[in-house]
Structure 1
Amino acid sequence: MKVFSLQVFCIILHAGIFHCHPQARYTFVVEEAPYTRLCNDNTILTVNGQFPGPTLYVNKGDTIIVDVINNANYNITLHW
């Protein structure tokens, strides 16, 4: 299981003077799921069992942290 944290809009200096205080935290579990369309069976990637993935509800200027757990058989890239 691969786990990594993505900190969006969070400024952390190398000296550690400023700390990130998130207003929202989300966990995304990416995994493969069977999908049938027009009598064809395929496998698609879902986020928390959803396709497309869940909606993030935040306000402008909020700091959020998204933890992503990749249970797929290959690497992924998230586009925000």
Structure 2
Amino acid sequence: MQVRELEDLARRLQKARVDKTERITANTLLRIAADLLLARSGELSGDTEEQLRRSVGLPENRSSGVRKSRASRGTVEQRSTSV
């Protein structure tokens, strides 16, 4: 979902630009996002993704419900050991 949204955003920005010397791609946007996060690293605090997001002013991740439901299923792999 996020990849598709980044690709769509990159396409919109690509079409709207005046200076056509440099391509804008999803990877361009990812590099910018990483730089922004690193620049604001002093603001990051929390023990979970949701807490980290909130610490830098982002809303709850739309896909976090998927992660929560996986975690609630208790998909911990148990291995048997024979001695």
Structure having the higher helix fraction is 2
Greater relative contact order, per chain length (Cα 8 Å cut-off, separation 6+)? 1
What range describes the TM-score normalised by the shorter chain of this pair? under 0.3
Structure having the higher strand fraction is 1
Q: TM-score, normalised by structure 1?
A: 0.24
